[in-house]
Every structure is written in C-alpha cells, then in structure tokens.
A and B are shown apart, each in its own frame.
Chain A
Amino acid sequence: MNTDTPGTTDTTKSAATTPHTHPGVLPLPERAARITTATAALTTAATTALAWTWSSAFPGDLTYYGSPAGLQTVTLAGGLLTLLLATAGLGVPGLRRLTPGGRNASVLLAALATFATTWFTLIAIAVDLGGLVNLEPGGFLAGITSLTTLIGALGLPADRTTTPPPTTTWQRFTGALAATPVRRRTLSLPPWAEILLIAAAFAAGLAAFTYGIDTDDGPPFVGYLLFMVLAVPALHRAGLLARLTELTHRHRGVALGAAFAAAAGFPFTQDTDQYTIIGANILIFATVALGLNVVVGLAGLLDLGYVAFLGVGAYAAALVSGSPESTLGLHFPFWAALLTGAAASLVFGVLIGAPTLRLRGDYLAIVTLGFGEIFRIAMLNLNGTTGPDITNGAMGIPNIPNLEIFGFNFGEPHHILGIPLATYGNYYLLMIFVTAFVVLVFRRAADSRIGRAWIAIREDETAAIAMGINSFRLRLLAFALGAALAGLAGTVHAHVVTTATPEQFQFAGPQPPNSAFLLAAVILGGMGTLSGPLVGAALLFLIPAKLDFLQDYQLLLFGIALVLLMRLRPEGLIPDRRKQLEFHEDNRPGPPLPGPGATPGSTPAKG
C-alpha cells in the first residue's frame, strides 16, 4: 500500500505500482487482513458481554452476562478502539481523519493492547483460581477473537518503507510499529468544534485516569497498565495525540481550563475516600515536581535534596497548625500557615543556595544531596535531648488538625451539588487550586525575561554571563522560587498526612515524595515542560501505590523501567520540542521549531 496516497484502498493496483511496500509480519492480503482485524475486534468487544468465569472470586467479578465488568471493560475499550482504527484504514469516509499518522501501526498497537489485556486476564483467572476449568466459554471466545484480531493486524503492511527492506520477522515487526509523520490538517473545524474536541479529550483522559485509580490492586491494575502502555502509543502512532497537542496550542486557555475542570471532577466520581487520598497525594507530589522543574528544567541546576523544601514547608505548617504536640503552640489561619510554609522554605532555599550556587554541575548536585540529608538529620536531632526541643525528633509532630477555611472544615464530609465529599476529597480540591497556582507561576516565569535568562544559563553559562546575566542571582532566584513552591505544597502535605516526621523526607525510598522520585518524575515526564512533571508525578505515585503487592520488587522494577525509558525516550514522556530535536535529530529533517509551513503569527508557546 502506498503511504503517499492515504485512503487508497485499491490494493491490487497500488501494490503493483509501488515496489517498496513492505509486507506485514504475516503474509496476508492487506484488505483481508484489515477486514479480519475489524471483525475480530468487534467480536472481541462483544465477548465482554459474556461471562468469562463462573466464580466471583476473581477481582472485578466477571460472571455477568450482558454487562462488562472489571477488566472486561478494558477489553471492550480496546476492541472498540481497534475496530475504529481498523475501519478508518478501510477508507470509510469521515473515519479516515481518525488516523492522520500511521494507519497500520496504530491498529497493530491497539490490537496488541487488547490481546495483552485479554490474555493477561484469562491467564490471571486460570492462575488465581487454579486451572483453565474456571474459564467460561465466553472467556475462551474472548481469547480466540483477540488473538484473531492480533493476527489480522500483523498482516497489515508497514506504514513506512525503509531501505534496505526488513528481512527478519523481528525487523518486520518493529518496522510495522514505527511511527510515521503526521499529515497536515486538511479540514478546518469551527472553533466551537475544536473546543468541544478538547473537552471530549480531557473527559476521556479523566475517565481513563479515574478508571485506573479505581481499579483494584493486583491483577486488574496490571491488566489496566498493560493496556495503557500499549494503547497510548497506539493513539500516538495514529497521530491523534499530535492533533490534540496542536488543538491545545491553539486554544491554550480553553485547554488549561478543561484540564483544570477534568482534574477537579475526579473527587466527584468517588463514593469513598479510598482513592481520593491517592489523588490528593498525586497532586502534592506533582506540585513539588513542577517546582523542581523550575530548578532542574529551566535553570539547569541539579538539585538532589529538593524534598527538604517540602519538609520545611510541612514542618513550618505543622508548628503553626495548632497541633497539641507543636512546641510553638500557635494556631494560624490557613492563609497565614500557607505563607509561613512558603516563606520558611524560601528562606531555607536562599540560605542553602547563597553559598552553594557558586558551584557548577556535579559539585552543586553533591552539595544539595548533603543539604537534603542535613535537613532530615537536623529534624531528628531537634528533639530536646540532642538539641533544642522543636520538632520532637523521630516522633515528629503528630495530630495536625484538619484545616478550616471560612468555617469550611476539611475533616468533615460536605455535599457539593448533592455529591458527598469526604476529608481527602476536600484536600484534593484545595490542592487543585494550589497546583493551578503553581502551574500559573511556572508558565509565566518560564515565558519571560527571567525564564529566558534561566534557559540561557542552562544552555551556556559563560555566554549568558557575557550577555549581562547575573548568573548567581538568577540561579538563586530559581532556587528560591522552586523552594517556595515546594513549601507551599508542604503546608497542605502536613495537613493531609496529619503528621510531620523526618522520615517522610528522605533522599530515596520506596514511597514517592523523596528527592530521587521527584527528580525521576521531572526527567521521566519531560524536563522544562509544564505537563511533563505532572504526568510523570502521577505515574510515579499511582503505579507504586497500586502495585503494592510487588513489595520488595517495586524499586527493582522502577529502576528497570527508568533505564528502559531513558534508552527509548530520553526526552521524557512529554518532550520539550527543543529536546526532541536534540535527541532525535536524525529523524527530523525539518529545522524550524513550529514547522516549516506554520502560519506566521501563530507563535507557539513552549511547554
């Protein structure tokens, strides 16, 4: 199939005229493969209406006829997604717009995602419950249909032709998965339709995220994770994510509003506080990661002790929270506590930064690592025996009371629009505002004279100095701003966890808010971008929280995942376009940032 003329479905003709078309992994006629994929995907989706097992012992209870439950929902979504993408490739008018990128790689990935989830579910049922006898005919049928979908998808030709043509099966397989450049938009939608699309995309994102967070720990979450790991690249290969990015760049305000609304909508989907606490913690973690991104991503200062600033904020808030164990015995109103936390962190940041920021590169990293540990040990020692009694040492400051803003007590359940919100739901909503504030600060700081000076220092400090930039002062400013933002999050953190102990603020540990995880969230998500650290932090918090059953293997798997990601996608999940050009220069001949054919006047904002 000729990739230059998308939409041509006349296989016999174009196959004869284009000599370099690479066949799929399996030698099937293209049209037959496509129809097989589509039909089998539809059948797979249909099997989720059947019972897959007779026993309700498997989490999710897959015993109902007529209503998909648990992992069946994921298979259903996967089947429908594969069906859509496959029919788009059939040349159905209108649907073709679904795949502005690769028409076949996306189908293959979606089929793989469906197959992986379905088979994982079936195997998990068999293993968990002890034998294949636990599967109902519906389960076997789902296995067969999802396998057929995959076989059909493997018969589709590669989107991209390479010279020399692939010889081994593995090369053909990776070739079939390769990304293709996204076609230019041909259809211009009215603005309201674009805005609707953005809203729909964010709603879908919220739904996917909520589903993930609500999934039971153990096999269901692994199945969900498997699906997402393959389905998101499928959307990327189809070019849909590129389209969405384009839309959000055009309607930045709307996109931010939609993201905010989608995020604020999460606690309203929850009946209990079981998962809103994860949501609240994700937001705290993400906010701190975004603060770190000012330091690492913009100014290029490697800070390995950043969690200390979260700690300073948390301790400051704990001391003025009115906790009976607080040695100060003060009880500030929330706004004052928030300012105290941020200000304490700011002062601490300046105190640490002033002597250390004259260092460059590796030296700074080591010194910040040291200061991070000094903070933790100092908090341990300010216990009355080894030092003045301020922090109660290892005991920490427990019993931090719930916040109360204008008579709104965060500890009590409230009804908003008739939906009950419990403690963590309240804190989640509060954190949404804090996060939104930090997002605003990050965006505005990055896109200004100060932000440009930071990036200049990151790029070439000597040249930056020669351009009149007071490097030390600006680095200190970045350090102080990052610290203040972390302190802000720290104040809420103290109230959410209700205790401030030194052990919460370590360099590394299995639980997320620690310096190593913060740095990982920034790098994994994408340095210097706005959404990168948010996504990175969400993943880094959610995955360990949900894969609790792995226990000791968590950090091992985390390490392996990091190595793999840095090998495959060094620019992070959400790349700064500069970084993308830096790491994948060979793939992208087009030099200019907004694309050679971009309309003048629509200067893209970065992030």
Chain B
Amino acid sequence: MTTPTTPPRAGTILEASGVTMRFGGLTAVRGVDLTVNTGEIVGLIGPNGAGKTTFFNCLTGLYVPTEGTVRFNGTRLSPKPHLVTQAGIARTFQNIRLFANMTVLENTLVGRHTRTKEGLWSALLRGPGFKKAERTSEERAMELLEFTGLTARRDHLARNLPYGEQRKLEIARALASEPGLLLLDEPTAGMNPHETRATQDLVLAIRDQGTAVLVIEHDMRFIFNLCDRVAVLVQGHKLIEGTAETVQADERVIAAYLGTPTEEDTTPPAHPADPATPPPPGDRR
C-alpha cells in the first residue's frame, strides 16, 4: 500500500476539538479533543458505554456532533458519511457489517467506490476507460486481499468466511478506499490470542505503509503493545491521553477502568493451546 501524499511523521491528520454528542437529555460524548498524527497508532479505550463508538460515529459522519468540529488534513469534515470516506477516513464496525451475499472480491471492490469515477454511462457503453478502471480496481483489490491473506477466498461469499477472516475482510474493504486514517472499532473482539496477534501485525503493517490508525479496543495488551498514544474515555469525556506507560500509571484510569494492576502485563500470554479457547461467535463452519 502506498500513500504518496502523506509526508512521514509530520503534521496532524485528524483533529477533533470539543466534540459533543447529545441524544435528547443524554450526553454520550462531552467535549472530547483528540488528534491523530500521520503514521501514528492511537488507541481509544474506556469502559462499556463510555461513548467510544459514538465518538467514532461523530468522526465518520454517521452522527452529526451537537458541538465541536472535526478537521481532517486541515479541512473541516462534512457530516455526510460518504464524503468523509471520500476525504480519506475509512472504518470498520464493532459488529461486523460486511455485504454478506457478495463475494470477498466484490466486497473489496465496493471499498474502491470513492476512488473510481465510472458512472452508469460508462458502465453501459463499456469503453476502454471503463475496462481499464475495472482492471485496475481488481488488481488493487487483489493486492489488498493478498495483504490481508484472503487471496484464496476471493470467490467465497463473505457470509461463509470464518469469523477471523470476516474481520480481516472488513479491514481490506476499508483499506480499499485508500484512507489516510483508518478507524478500527474493536478489531479483535471475539478473537483467540493467536488471531489477535495476527491482527496486531496487520495493524502495524498498515501503519508502516503510511496510514494512521485510530483503534477502539478492550484488549489492553493489544492496545499497549500497539499504540503510540492512548486516550481514555470515561462517561463521555476524555480522562487522560498519553503514552501507554502514562496511561497505565494514572490512578484515575486504574480506578475507572483497569482496576488494580495485574501481573498479566508482565507475564507472557497463558494460552498454550488454541483448541481450548471457545470458538468465536458467528463462526459457521
């Protein structure tokens, strides 16, 4: 994956300031500021119901924030989700939302939608431009499938993939829109430790290719291994933001979320055999 336009390690790519989201009397997100720099992996953690996904939805335009602004690459984002994707923010969903009855390849091709222009006339007339664009799209999609390790599955229906591969496909589909920033909403939920490690490597590989990543996750080891910075949301407002060490050391975070420090962080993962782990939900095979 190449994103030629992003200079390495420079500037702010996403700047959310004072984002507030109210649903009637309930304030789900309260004045949250968050910045993501190019080439950075930022984690967003917090207890259930802290407003993480709501904040994500505010960033991607699915919700229009009641107050506050979101700037991407210096320009203010339109609250229309498709324009947000067009601008270069792609996302995955907490509960997988693939196009179940489309093939793996077709799912990825849909991700290319904003990066191709061919309209209905072009499709009906089938000129050389159309064929070239289709071919390029397919090549790009196949590259991404290879990147995520789904090449062999290209003609399978998305619904028939095992759970872990569905997660991967969602990431491949999001990457197909050539985003500058990738938002991952609990990418390892329901995964076994082995799959989680694979996802970790995948996220690092995405970052290395120049895409900034903002990730919501409950798996602390995953977050602290991966993220350059971590922000903690509690009851809709940002408690603290900083490096993994800072956040782990902060007493308020420990009180609100982590509980007492455990030995787990220093010991290697204690999952000797994968078969012992329960099968992930949604796995139909």
Contact = CB atoms under 8 A, between A and B. Distances in A.
Given A448-B118, A591-B156, A592-B155, A466 B110 contact: no
Nearest to A528: B101
B99 A456 contact: yes
Interface stretch (A36-44, A97-105, A230-238, A469-477): A469-477
A460 B103 CA distance: 14
Given A448-B130, A467-B113, A582 B123 contact: no
B98 A463 contact: yes
Contacts of A592: 153, 155-157, 160
Nearest to A590: B160
A452 B104 CA distance: 12
Interface in B155-192: 155-157, 159-160, 173-174, 177
A466 B116 contact: no
A469 B120 contact: no
A449 B20 CA distance: 36
A445 B123 contact: yes
Contact of B97 (A462, A581, A598): A462
B110 A456 contact: yes
A165 B134 CA distance: 52
B115 to A, nearest CB: 8
Interface residues of B, number: 46
Given A466-B85, A467-B177, A481 B120 contact: yes
A477 B103 CA distance: 24
**Which of B62, B103, B155, B174 has its CB near the most chain A CB atoms (within 10 A)?**
B155
Nearest to A462: B97
**Which of A452, A467, A581, A598 has its CB near the most chain B CB atoms (within 10 A)?**
A467
A372 B122 CA distance: 31
A452 B112 CA distance: 11
Given A465-B82, A467-B110, A578-B157, A449 B116 contact: yes
User: Size band of the A side of the interface?
Assistant: 35 or more
A471 B155 CA distance: 25
Contact of A452 (B80, B86, B106): B106
A469 B155 contact: no
Interface string A442-461: 00110111111101100110
Contact of A593 (B114, B130, B157, B285): B157
Interface string B79-104: 01110011000110100011111110
Interface string A567-607: 00000000000110110000000011110001000010000
A464 B109 CA distance: 12
B111 interface: yes
Interface in A465-505: 465-471, 477, 481
A48 B14 CA distance: 82
Given A444-B123, A467-B85, A449 B102 contact: no
B76 interface: no
B26 interface: no
A453 B113 contact: yes
Nearest to A440: B124
A469 B123 contact: no
A377 interface: no
Contacts of B106: 452, 455
A471 B126 contact: no
B272 interface: no
Contacts of A203: none
B125 to A, nearest CB: 8
B119 interface: yes
A441 interface: yes
B66 to A, nearest CB: 21
Contacts of B137: 449
B99 A460 contact: yes
B60 interface: yes
Interface in A366-420: none
Nearest to B91: A466
Q: Give the 7 A-B residue pairs with the shortest CB-CB distance, closest first.
A: A468-B85, A448-B123, A468-B114, A591-B160, A463-B97, A459-B99, A578-B101
Given A449-B113, A594-B155, 13 more contacts: A441-B124, A448-B123, A450-B119, A451-B123, A456-B102, A460-B100, A466-B62, A467-B85, A467-B173, A471-B82, A578-B101, A591-B157, A592-B153
14 contacts: A440-B124, A444-B126, A449-B109, A449-B116, A452-B113, A459-B99, A459-B101, A460-B99, A465-B62, A466-B81, A467-B111, A468-B113, A581-B159, A603-B155
